[in-house]
Structure 1
Amino acid sequence: MNTPDPDNTTASSSASHGQMVRQTVAPARLKESLELNRPPSVRNASIAGLQASIAVVLAAVALHYSPWPSMAGFGSLGAMAALFGRFATPAKRRWVVGTAGALLVSPVAILSLAAWSGASPVLLLVMLSLVAGALASVAHRTQVGAPGAVIFVFAASAAITPISSGGEWLERVLATTLGAVIAWIICALTDSMREQDVKLPPPPMPAGAPAGGGRQPALTPGYAPRQAARIVACAIVSSLLAHAMGWSHPAWAAIGVIAVLQGAHLPGTIHRAWQRTLGTIVGAGIAWAILVNEPSFWQILAAVAILQFITEVIIGFNYALGQIAITPMALLMTTLASHSEAADMVISRIYDTALGALVGIVFAMLLSTLDERLHLARHHSRKRS
């Protein structure tokens, strides 16, 4: 006769779905989300922010004075490639920035083509969700690092706005490519300013990894095929819910999902949800204060450049702080690309972000494995002790 293992019984009880919900909504999760951390190198973060700001300004100005001034927003999106690889060697940095540029241009090309073909809004949101899952996997496999696939999905979301000709499709692709090329050149010319011997903290071990070290799995739960499918499902649900409720930018709900699900484990997912939601609410207020005054192209561009630099300096201390700057920057870049109404964008950003975060957490909990729930239970127990 087999007797139950008391250790297994205790572990299963502490890692039940009910316990997981209680641990998720515990005040400790919010408190942890507001903690400040020391980034590996403030200097490298500042230089990456400066590189991105310069690339954004150069790309936007070049397009503003070209025959295609309406493409300035897409040029700015391509320039975001400068954010990647800030701790890599100079040779590796050039490869990372080039790869990030390709991952910014590709979804713009694919989804702009779908928009040109006359795809319905629902089909475009489904395609965006599929592209989001693919981008998350490719970003992990190519090891482009922070800020992760959310930047690529942001570029993809801008591309689902309607276009009426092949010429407009080509303009979008070339403008995004121009921004990526400028970012590559700026990084290549200024990378000598970065610290080259920064000691990085070890990556967070996923649930189920061997205790006390051991080999890091080739694919962490955040980007394993199962998790990529989770991203697709969450993005579809959140964006279609936002669309059904008549919100004007349902694609932003998909961005909220992927930002939350980039965590390597349940505590990370919960923290990202709190941080992204709280930071977005504050940042949206800043965006409204800027946009309600109907700023000119030059004022918007200056604000984007300043906010880009601030974001990279502070986001390493706390993701919520970064969101306070990212949110107005993203809304201002959207204004450059689509000229949407200020109040409409601000409200939509808050709703869509909160919805994406909620859907991401619900799916993460419903589809969690026993190892993931045990990881959360151990984390919760350590924080209480």
Structure 2
Amino acid sequence: MDTPPTSDRPRRRDAAKHILHPHTLRDGMRIAPQPHVRASAMAGVQAALTGAIAMPLIYISPFAHLLSFAALGSIVALYGRFAPAQRRNWLLLYCMLSQTAVVLVTSTAAWLGAPNLVMLIVLALCCGGLMFVQQTVKMGAPGALLMVFAAGASFDTPVRFVEIIERGLTVMLVGLLAWAICFLTEKFRNDPSAFVPGEPALPRKRRIEVALSITLATFLAAAASQLIGASHPSWAAMGAMAAMTGPHLYHALHRGVQRLLGVVIGAAIAGVILIFEPNVWQMMGLIVGLQIITEIIIGSNYALGQMLVTPMALLMTVIGMPGVSGFHMASERIWDTLIGAAIGLVLAILLSSQPDRLELAAYKAAKGNKS
């Protein structure tokens, strides 16, 4: 058993050792009781219902090439699950507008023919900006991370001007459908015991500092991903962002490790699924089913949730890119997450404050006393 640091000024190397400690892995795999399972499950059902309506309609229309964006629009229903009805109504609209905005921004940059470096900067600024928005409006789960996924889906080039409009309208209209479904089915989610205020808002200066650190981390992760020839730098950015997100340093470190474990296993599951070359209808069915199951279990264990989120995300990507090797995409997801999580964990420690490390030391001491 480790003894807590005797110094009242724990060093960054002490924080780094925490990642390698056996209890970090044990904590990452511990299954906790799912808090407010009804609200979480209902959010998954609402997102799944949105997708089950929107995706087939898009697929049989002349706009089948927008299928991935219809799937992305459906995830708006996942927000505000623990908020009272009135707050959730405007929060869903805010999230829909934020997601539409990042899709328009990254698509416009691609249409303008921005060089790779500029595209990476745009992506990183979107990540930092979304984090600032998340902390300002107290967005709650699933946070800005899924919106970064939407930004990454718009990263391809070249893009025609009309496609910018099509993508933005698809995400917005499906997001509005999600809002309507949530409004109409609110009575099934309504559980006053599940309504929690969330973390208190950080001071504006601290929110800006967090946004800047996220911008730096996601830029470095995306750039490193592109340097090794990966075609989805946003996945590396998401790995870095997850590793730096959390109300406390120990939460952020655990989240980074959990995401790494979950994505590796989830990508392997996706690879097995895609080997069988499911058709579009089968992929839509899998996406809808995974949305419900994920929301039921992710509150119990983030790594376990990522094992399901990862194949769902890969299916959302593959469904809009016919002919792409699903197995290659699954293996790339693993490498991108490894790169992003490693960079995020390193920067989380390097940029940590003395109070952050003191809190981590206290957490380690408490864990040591229980073991």
Q: What TM bracket, shorter-length normalisation? A: over 0.9
In the other structure, the counterpart of 2:318 is 335
In the other structure, the counterpart of 1:73 is 68
Residue 11 in 1 paired to residue 8 in 2? yes
In the other structure, the counterpart of 2:36 is 41
Residue 382 in 1 paired to residue 356 in 2? no
- How many Å apart are 1:10 and its aligned residue? 2.7
Secondary structure at the residue paired with 2:318? helix
- How many Å apart are 1:40 and its aligned residue? 2.3
- Aligned match of 2:180 in 185, 196, 210? 185
Q: Kindly report which structure 2 residues correspond to 1:289-300, keeping only aligned pairs within 5 A, or say none.
A: 289-300=272-283
* Runs (5+) with no aligned partner, structure 1: 1-7, 205-215
In the other structure, the counterpart of 2:135 is 140
Secondary structure at the residue paired with 2:278? coil
Residue 267 in 1 paired to residue 250 in 2? yes
In the other structure, the counterpart of 2:166 is 171
CA contact (8 A) 1:40 1:198 kept: no
In the other structure, the counterpart of 1:157 is 152
Q: 1:39 to 1:100 in 2, by over 3 A?
A: same
* Count of aligned positions: 364
The alignment yields a C-alpha RMSD, in angstroms, of 1.8
- How many Å apart are 1:200 and its aligned residue? 5.8
- How many Å apart are 1:20 and its aligned residue? 2.0
Q: 1:83 to 1:378 in 2, by over 3 A?
A: same
In the other structure, the counterpart of 1:347 is 331
Moved over 6 A (4+): none
CA contact (8 A) 1:133 1:232 kept: yes
In the other structure, the counterpart of 2:211 is 228
What percentage of residue pairs aligned between the two structures are identical?
36
In the other structure, the counterpart of 1:4 is none
CA contact (8 A) 2:135 2:202 kept: no
CA contact (8 A) 2:106 2:122 kept: yes
- How many Å apart are 1:253 and its aligned residue? 0.2
Q: 1:200 to 1:97 in 2, by over 3 A?
A: closer
Q: 1:100 to 1:107 in 2, by over 3 A?
A: same
- How many Å apart are 1:23 and its aligned residue? 2.5
- How many Å apart are 1:178 and its aligned residue? 1.7
- Per-residue displacement from partner, 1:97-138 (whole Å, max 9, x unpaired)? 111111111100011000011112232122101110001111
CA contact (8 A) 1:44 1:87 kept: yes
CA contact (8 A) 2:39 2:194 kept: no
The one-letter amino acid of 1:293's match is: F
- Per-residue displacement from partner, 1:304-327 (whole Å, max 9, x unpaired)? 001111110000000001001000
In the other structure, the counterpart of 2:108 is 113
- Aligned match of 1:238 in 212, 221, 238? 221
In the other structure, the counterpart of 1:368 is 352
- How many Å apart are 1:75 and its aligned residue? 1.2
Residue 194 in 1 paired to residue 178 in 2? no
Q: 1:25 to 1:149 in 2, by over 3 A?
A: same
Query: TM-score when scaled to structure 2?
Result: 0.94
